[in-house]
Amino acid sequence: MSITPIGWVLIPLGLVLFVLRPRWLYALTIFFVPFSATAVINRGSGDSASGFSPYLFFGFLMLLSECVALVLRFRIRFARPLHKPLYLLIGFVSVCLFSLVMPMLIGGRLQIMDRPSIDYGLVPLQYSLQTVNHALSLIFDALVAAVIAHRSLEVKQFYSTVRIYLVSGIFVCLWGWLQFGCYLAGIPYPAAVFNNNASPYALGYESVLDSLGIVRVSSVALEPSFLSRVLVGMLAICVVAIYRKTSIFSRRFDYIVLALVGSTIAITTASTGYVGIAMLLVLLPFLPSEHSRSKFALVASVFAVLGALVAVYFTIPAVADLLNSQLFNKADAASVLERAVVISNDFQYFLSYPILGIGWDCAPTHDVIVGLLANCGLCGLAAFGLLIGGVMFALRKSSALTVAGVRGGSPPALMLLTLTITCGVYIISGGIEVPDFWMILALSIAAVGIGYNLRQQAAGGTGLMLER
């Protein structure tokens, strides 16, 4: 076990803040959500090496400070608007935790993949310390999500949390452009600063797009696809905020952030990001709007963007080569074969154990649906569907209220599209065991609570203005 250079800075900082300014731990936990390639402490070596991320470190201190506060208050209480989504969250987590009895029941009779790659090895599925670690990680993510949702229940607090997350995104994008600039200038990229996780999967910053011979930007994430998944959610937040005329920073700076995030997604060269942008363009016109003129302008803007993209594709050969290699000719890529192999094996695990799967996070996965079936079975997929479906339904109801003239509905509308895009991206790329998914879910649950208050005020005719 060794402390990384950045760990020598962040660990003392976290301990000082825990004693003197515990509320700052909340902001730092959110800020470090995208930093999946960063570690404050590394342990192990070789294929078994792993890192303890700043998100885990500050999140643990934040939860510890919350526990101290709860002990002093002698009670645990969440606001009533959060009860239903939190019950659904508890239900999903309970099913996932219960599925971890499966490794004990299987007792090594099943051989599973040791990693989600085409050159995987087979290892017997047994109950181990790693299984306990899976359970603790899930509980940790759910608790952090509950705290974020609770602290973002008021409109002002909600936008404060969103700003912290987007400030993190701005830094991540600028660091990604630094990585790209280092490649163009032929100077060494300072990977030791934020790409210091000892995990063998944390070398995404070395990825190169063979068809064009350019670096694939991963910034502070494990690999380019991880970065693009984070940024697609941030892009959706920026687009909806601009469309609903809700300033996160300021009107002009929101456009700057939108351009920065969108351009960074482009240089990741990750098909996940490109598909996420396409989904955003397709789904955005279906958001509720208070004015038909705004809806017409939005549809016209979407067609204008699509037209510009088509023109760029046919006039700039480098762009055409990039899209062909990463999207249109993707079926010939090794990554598609890898995903097909992993998904096929996961589906076989599900067929063997269809009720509870083989245990939460025991099967390596490349998508949400088959991954949940393999890990938690039909029970897990049903619980996840109830959670996401329930949150989306509540967000949709609150978004529709703004069409009827009730103001303050921007948070529900903001998170309705963002959660939809996030789930869509994860269906085609990766499981939900990563912090950015839980961050978006937490904000969505908070928006449900804000929407509940909106409906209560609409029914009571209080006329309160919740808009910023």
Q: Over the stretch 60-75, which tens digit does the pLDDT of each residue have? A: 999 998 887 765 565 5
Q: Give the DSSP H/E element, type plus range, for residue 215.
A: strand 214-215
What integer pLDDT is reported at residue 464 of this predicted model? Answer: 39
- 147, part of any domain: yes
Q: How far apart are CA 359 and CA 103, in angstroms?
A: 6
What integer pLDDT is reported at residue 409 of this predicted model? Answer: 54
What integer pLDDT is reported at residue 324 of this predicted model? Answer: 54
End-to-end CA distance of the chain, in Å? 47
Stretches where the chain sits below pLDDT 50 are: 291-292, 328, 331-332, 403-408, 462-468
**Residue 333 CB burial class (10 angstroms; 0-12, 13-18, ≥19):** middle
- 329, part of any domain: yes
What integer pLDDT is reported at residue 275 of this predicted model? Answer: 87
What integer pLDDT is reported at residue 205 of this predicted model? Answer: 74
What integer pLDDT is reported at residue 297 of this predicted model? Answer: 57
Range of the domain at 263: 2-460
What integer pLDDT is reported at residue 333 of this predicted model? Answer: 55
- 81, part of any domain: yes
Torsions phi, psi of 2, nearest 5? -145, 145
What integer pLDDT is reported at residue 468 of this predicted model? Answer: 40
- 465, part of any domain: no
Q: Which two tokens stand for residue 233?
A: 């959610």
- 163, part of any domain: yes
- 466, part of any domain: no
What integer pLDDT is reported at residue 377 of this predicted model? Answer: 93
Q: Which amino acid is at 38?
A: T
Query: Any idea which residue has 């920073």 for tokens?
Result: 249
Burial 122-159 (b: 16+ CB within 10 A, else e): eeebbbeeebeebbeebebbbbbbbbbbbbbbbbeebb
pLDDT in tens, 181-198: 998 888 998 988 998 888
What integer pLDDT is reported at residue 463 of this predicted model? Answer: 40
Q: How many domains does the chain have?
A: 1
- 468, part of any domain: no
Helix then strand then coil, in percent of the chain rounded to 5, is: 70, 5, 25
What integer pLDDT is reported at residue 162 of this predicted model? Answer: 95
